[in-house]
Amino acid sequence: MNILVINPPNKPFTNTSILAEPIDVLQVATIIKKKYSDVSVIDMDVNRMANNINRYLKDNNIIVFVFDYQLPLHTSETISNIFEIIKNINKKSKCIIIGKTSAYYYEKFLNNGFDVVINGIADETIINVIDSIVKNKDLSLIPNIMIKKDNEIILTEKKEICNKFNLLDYPDRSLVDIKKYMDTRTMVTSRGCIGKCSFCTTPTFFGMWNGKEPSKVVDEIEYLINHFNTKKIIFLDDNMTVNKERMYSICNEIEKRNIKCLFGCLSSIGCYDKKMFEKMYSVGFRWVHFGIETGSERILKLMNKPMNLDYVKKVIKEVKDMGYRVRNSIILDYPSSTKEDIITTRNLIKELQPHELRLHYLAYRVGTPVFEENKNVKNKTQYIHSNHPNIENNDITEEINQLINDLKNNGYILIFDDIDWNKYNKLNKETKFASFIPVKYGMCWYE
């Protein structure tokens, strides 16, 4: 069997200057490759392939699409492209898809040419599915999948799957041409979350947090440095700093091996520890993201994200004083937001003055509490990088515009649409961005 693992083409294609290697696609391919050697990764996004993979097909194929799995990087319009790819296949193939959106809308995917939709963590299930296809066994005996049999959609037995991310090998980057991606490498060292934010899919899809051992994390860092001359690494874990003991051990191992590299990570206010962040800084951490989301305590409660805003201010000040470049994210149009909520958010931003602001209009991610509670909202999107609001409220719109004006007046570069980050070569560590879309990782990280 010819096994292809597909990163589908974003629609529109992702800006080339911010392209990162598709790390969750590579993780799935690496799991498969451990048992089946004839595995290829086709990154249709980086290769600008719209809807045809026929030149990669042989007589018998297993095609695994990874879409909206651990990293939600594609627009919702990508789904139509995926269906076109399936329609254009001209060789005998079995098509499998892994991800949150397909698991939620499984009927739509099965009715558009997919043979198997995997529900939830795919580490073991994908091997069981491929084994059954190769040996021509009954797929309906495999738990946690959806299939179509005799024109009838079947949901197989649902079994709890433990999040055992710590047992996985690190992704095999030799499966792609790494030179096609931005020079800041990406790593994911943990999966799951200890929080239960109402807008996030991670807790329900992946369950409790589970991280790789410190030695394995640092082995992967060394691999990236030795094989690809890596100078900067961004950790895309939902929260890198959940386990303080693990974080200290990672730092100690970096120090012990005398590794010279710059790092960035996503963290949370609830997992902040001043001494730990000082230790992280000492071994090369220079960038950190904290999801603040709002300056309104009322909205924070609705988000199921309780935080003391005075403590938030203290943390951000301390981290900036240590020398970190700090990014905060803000959701501007959470349901029931009022003019007063936006004003408190504006005031919080003025006080925090983060180096980077990631401004969001709410992504109604499938299966989340906020998605289920607001199914009738007009114009809502599941895409996390939308630059269009979901609500029509003139009071809020006026205050959001005032917030944007405040940022301009405070020296922020405002980013609403794609730009070529390769042209920005006169930035420094104090440069400030506020964006509605992704910006290039590794910008303005300095020793």
> Tokens representing 130?
């491929």
Residues of the chain above pLDDT 90, percent:
85
CA distances from 316 to 248, 313, 329 (A): 20, 5, 13
Ordered structural domains, the chain, with CATH: 2-155 (3.40.50), 182-435 (3.20.20.70)
Higher pLDDT, 302 or 376: 302
The answer to whether 200 and 365 have CB atoms below 8 angstroms apart is yes
CB 441 within 8 A of CB 264: yes
Give the tens place of pLDDT for each residue, 292-351.
999 999 999 999 998 999 999 999 999 999 999 999 999 999 999 999 999 999 999 999
Amino acid identity at 293:
E
Give burial (CB, 10 Å; 0-12/13-18/19+) of 161.
Answer: middle
Alpha carbon dihedral 211, 98, 204, 280, in 10-degree steps, equals 30
Locate tokens 């290697």: which residue?
21
Q: Which phi and psi angles does 211 have, rounded to 5°?
A: -125, 155
Two structure tokens written together for 255 = 């120090």
Provide the pLDDT confidence category of residue 188 given band limits of 50, 70 and 90: very high
Paired strand residues for 194: none
Residue 30 has pLDDT above 90, yes or no: yes
391 pLDDT band, cuts 50/70/90, is: low
For 234-285, the pLDDT digits (tens) are: 999 999 999 999 999 999 999 999 999 999 999 999 999 999 999 999 999 9
Query: Closest Cα partner for 438 from 113, 16, 95?
Result: 16
Phi-psi region for residue 232, left (φ > 0), alpha (ψ -120 to 50) or beta? beta
What was the pLDDT predicted at 387? 67
At 359, which helix (H) or strand (E)? Answer: strand 356-360
What is the average pLDDT score of the chain? 94
- Average pLDDT for residues 32-41, to the nearest whole number? 96
Q: What is the mean pLDDT of residues 161-188?
A: 96
Q: Which residue has the tokens 């071994």?
A: 283
Closest by Cα among 150, 147, 152 to 133 = 147
Specify the pTM. 0.95
Q: Give the DSSP H/E element, type plus range, for residue 147.
A: strand 145-149
Tokens of 303: 């988000």
Q: What is the rounded distance in angstroms from the CA atom of residue 198 to the CA atom of residue 365?
A: 10
What are 53-62's pLDDT values in tens digits?
Answer: 999 999 999 9
Cα(241)–Cα(430) distance, rounded to whole angstroms? 25
Distance CA 65, CA 79 (A): 11
Band (446; pLDDT cuts 50, 70, 90): confident
Each residue's pLDDT tens digit, 64-117: 999 999 998 898 899 999 999 999 999 999 999 999 999 999 999 999 999 999
Q: Is the pLDDT of residue 4 over 70?
A: yes
Looking at residue 420, its pLDDT comes to 80
Q: What is the longest distance spanned by two Cα atoms in the chain?
A: 65
Q: Which residue has the tokens 């949150």?
A: 100
Q: In which band, very low, low, confident or very high, does the pLDDT at 423 lie, cut at 50, 70 and 90?
A: confident
